[in-house]
Amino acid sequence: MAIESEVLVIGGGLAGLSSALAAAREGADVRLLSYKQSTLRNASGLVDILGYTHDGDGPLTDPYEAIPELPSSHPYRTVGVDGVREAMAMFDDVTDYRGDHTDTNALLPTHGGTVKPTARYPRGAAAGLASDDRDVLLVGLGSMVDFDAPHVAAHLEAAGVPFEARGVSIEFPGDLRADAKVTRYAKLLDTNGEVAVGGRMVGARDALADAIEPHLDGEARVGLPAILGDDHPDAVRAALGDALSVDVFEVPMGPPSLPGLRLEDALFEAVDEAGGNFETGNPVVDYAAEDGHIEEVYIEKNGARIPVSGDQYVLATGGLVGKGVESDREGVYEPIFDCHVPHAEDRYDWFDLDVFGDHPFARFGLPTDEQLRPLTATDSVEFDNLRAAGGILGGYDFAAEKSGSGVSIATGHAAGTNAAQEAR
Amino acid sequence: MSDAESPTEFDPTAPNTGEDFEPVDVFPDSDDFDLRPGADSCYKCSTCDTNCPVAEVDDEFPGPKFQGPEQWRLKQNEDDYTIDDSITDCSNCMRCDNACPSGVPLSQMHNTARGEYVSEQMDKLSVEYVRNRILANYRTSATIASKVPRLANFAMNFGPARWVMEKTLGVTSEREFPAFAKQTFREWWSSRGGAAASKENAQQARERRGQDRDADKKVAYFHGCYSNYNTPEVGKAMVRVFEEYGYEVVVPEQRCSGTPMFANGMLDDARRGAEVNVSSMADLIEQGYDAIASCTSCSMALRQEYPELFDIDGIDEVAANTFESVEYLRIHEDLKGDLRAADVEGDLAREFAYHAPCHARNQGLERQSVELFRDLEGVGIEDVGESCSGISGTYGWKAEKYEKSMKIGDEMFDHMDDASGDTGMTECPTCAMQMEHGTGYDIRHPLELLEAALVE
């Protein structure tokens, strides 16, 4: 026998979670399998739909307006503008993200000092909008070298933001070890745990506010790297804001990212609440199929092969970085079901000589039919009960377009919904 | 972009124990497992660090990325490099394994480094070493204590004795020692008629279920120390549930799985136990048995730590044929369907606050109790979240680590408090101790609930 479900989702990132959530909301019995913990903790936590066109024009004001202009191979064209809207409505329903009041992209400062067009952003980033004309004080922590506040401030001003930005660097109070983990800062702030300052013990929130206060020079808002709490970020920001009489915001950081962790928690909770099941820790390595129909897949646990089956399957294992698509010197392939990945025979044709050029590898991934079922080299469906979602799909360059999260949510929602309807 | 010769193939996403992989032979004198592919796979994303329950509360602890790949590299480059003593602050929760997107065998690196630290750098006459050795060899003390359970239960928790234990040995007096059962599981098992009785029960059950009376359904039970000496009701439930499904149970000779020894760097002690366990399980597996454990740390040891740390004949077959008890039934029986049709009355008709042990996570079992019991009539179950309980076996028993252990556990206590039930549930004996210690709740094992739901 196998461990059975109606819809089996393989992959625990944004696309897998969106698939599982959509399928569970359709009433299907869903199981999500993730090799490791969700890679969302490596994501900034910003959720973009489309920031630039296929040809690099932008930043775009209205991503929905640009979708019909994308090439027909783009996953957004498969799910359509309405599909994207439905998916974003589901996302808005289960998160407390901002930006859902408008179709227009928001502009958010990044930790590199650039400005990024994005469709949704965490509440913690809201006071940092680059379209806001209030002056900003950016506060970096000496030990967190990924966020050099004076440098970021200078960059933002050079990018032409409509406010003055100033950056200072302070030490996080309490003399923590130089390479303290982001979770250590977050935990101290969550619990307002005591730190030693000048020989006495002070709550971490108060101590941090005290350390920032002398640097304020009339700015109405203060930005810090995203370390302000894991379980209670709203309370941490509010406490700092009250103490300093300013609006406090977080600047999303590189991995490991607390906004990504918080989003991961919110989505797993939503899947749980919708009745979905999940397990992590071991990879799906193989499958059994008959007549183009997948019967079951196998999880590998230290030599044991655990059979798991579904009526319908969603493959959301990511792209080249997420290892859902692999490559070697011979070719590019999808490792679990060996679905067809179109690519040039000569590997020297996989990339462009210009670093920022138009790299074919960036669009490597699975081609699908209108139901997101992967296609063979001759355009027939690989398996009648397999759909694909997210980074594993071909035909788009998420890094250049700023479309990674949106494609994952939209195709995940569509694949999960279709799979559930088929299974019921 | 060069057309240089293709390097030896290896899959960087899978831990490589060095059997099939020969990198450039840089360390020809080493006969240890080759950890280099693992170290090379680390691209320093620090995801492991965000999973470390110790780094979250302890400013001194440098985190798993340092303890694993970074320390390993330092050791290769400097002849006089000694293992940093912070390795003893790692609680061996193994969460970093589950976190790494690149397949770095972090816990294997930690266990190896800790073993080296203890065998080469730790003073064997120190109180700490003696204390750790006693804690790690719980089975030895338990064997003696279980001969005189009443006396042991009194003496172990006798106030003045505990004060002396804290002062001389560094065993915290904050905790109460778990009670020893009046009859061990193995005593119950033999008095019940052992394997012959189990075979008879299984055959009757098969007939009842309309299966072939002589069907080949047999499992070898790895009960571990705790089910034997402290909570035999868990072992009994395991036997009754498996027999109900028509499985013959055997209870082979066994020692401690080694979990507390790995965590204390006592790899020689662990190996001695592993040799016995692998040998008895390997023989049975050859005869068609599968190995079943009711403790998720025991199944973890047999499945992952043994093949990662020891080279013993039959060890890979044992790893590949070992399962956690409920997992096994989920694979081979329609457990979910049977539970949907069942209900629970009486003592266990309760609301449970469920905590998933860290060691259940790497085995993909962190949600199976919630999944199975949320549709069971007569009970409620709520997952209290992904935080670590903080006790980590012997870790929270050490006087100098007690406070840290409780700080880690705080999140779980809060969530248990918020959950509607006031009975706890978990698979891990020491998580259960911590849950009880922090909340005062009665803690039960999923097998006990399965028995109440499925066995007449």
pLDDT tens track for B289-348? 999 999 999 999 999 999 999 999 999 999 999 999 999 999 999 999 999 999 999 999
Provide the whole-model pTM. Answer: 0.93
Q: What is the mean pLDDT of residues B1-6?
A: 47
pLDDT mean over B93-112:
93
Q: Which phi and psi (to 5°) does residue A58 adopt?
A: 150, -170
Residues of chain B positioned with their CB less than 8 A from the CB of A3: 330-331
Q: At what angle do helices B127-136 and B138-145 cross, to 10 degrees?
A: 60
Q: Which candidate, B391, B428, B381, B442, places its Cα nearest to that of B412?
A: B391
Angle at B120 between CA B116 and CA B123, to 5 degrees: 125
Give the pLDDT band (50/70/90) at residue B288. very high
Residue B155 pLDDT: 86
Query: Is the pLDDT score of B224 beyond 50?
Result: yes
Residue pLDDT, tens place only, B246-264: 999 999 999 999 999 999 9
Contact yes or no for B223/B182 (Cβ under 8 A): no
Q: Tell me which residue of A204, A202, A200 sits closest to A190, measured CA to CA.
A: A204
Residues 55-74 of B with CB under 8 A from A: 55-57, 59-60, 62-63, 66
Do A168 and A208 form a contact (C-beta atoms < 8 A)? Answer: no
Mutate to test the interface with B, among A184, A278, A297, A298 (most CBs of B within 10 A): A184
Using the Cβ of B5 and the Cβ atoms of chain A, whether some distance falls under 8 Å is answered with no
Is pLDDT above 80 for B9? no
Digit-coded pLDDT (tens) for A356-406:
889 999 999 999 999 999 999 999 999 999 999 999 999 999 999 999 999
How confident is the prediction along chain A (424 residues), in pLDDT tens digits per residue? Answer: 889 999 999 999 999 999 999 999 999 999 999 999 888 988 999 999 999 998 889 899 999 999 999 999 999 999 999 999 999 999 999 999 999 999 999 999 999 999 999 999 999 999 999 999 999 999 999 989 999 999 999 999 999 999 999 999 999 999 898 888 999 999 999 999 999 999 999 999 999 999 999 999 999 999 999 999 999 999 999 999 999 999 999 999 998 999 999 999 999 999 999 999 999 999 999 999 999 999 999 999 999 999 999 999 999 999 998 899 999 999 999 999 999 999 999 999 999 999 988 999 999 999 999 999 999 999 999 999 999 999 999 999 999 999 999 999 999 999 999 999 999 8
Test mutation, A30, A282, A301, A346, chain B, max B CBs within 10 A: A301
Query: Could you give the CA distance from residue B223 to residue B256 in angstroms, rounded to a whole number?
Result: 9
Residues in chain B: 456
> pLDDT digit string (tens) for B26-48?
444 555 677 888 889 998 989 99
Q: Determine the residue among A4, A9, A37 to mutate to test chain B binding: the one whose Cβ has the most chain B Cβ atoms within 10 Å.
A: A37
Core vs surface per residue B300-332: b (16+ CB within 10 A) or e: bbbbbbbbbbbebeebbbbbbbbbbbbbbbbbb
Minimal Cβ distance to A304: which of B6, B320, B365: B320
DSSP sequence for A328-363 = -SS-EE-TTT-------SSGGGSS-SSTTS--GGGG
User: Stretch B433-455: mean pLDDT, rounded?
Assistant: 97
| Nearest-neighbour CA in chain A from B28: distance (Å) | 28
Residue B114 is encoded by which pair of tokens?
A: 């800790």
Q: Which runs of consecutive H residues, i.e. helices, occur in B325-428?
A: 325-332, 335-341, 358-361, 368-373, 402-418
More confident residue, B213 or B156: B213
- Averaged over B163-182, what is the pLDDT? 90
Helix and strand totals (H; E) in chain A? 10, 17
Residue A258 C-alpha, separation from nearest chain B C-alpha, in angstroms: 9
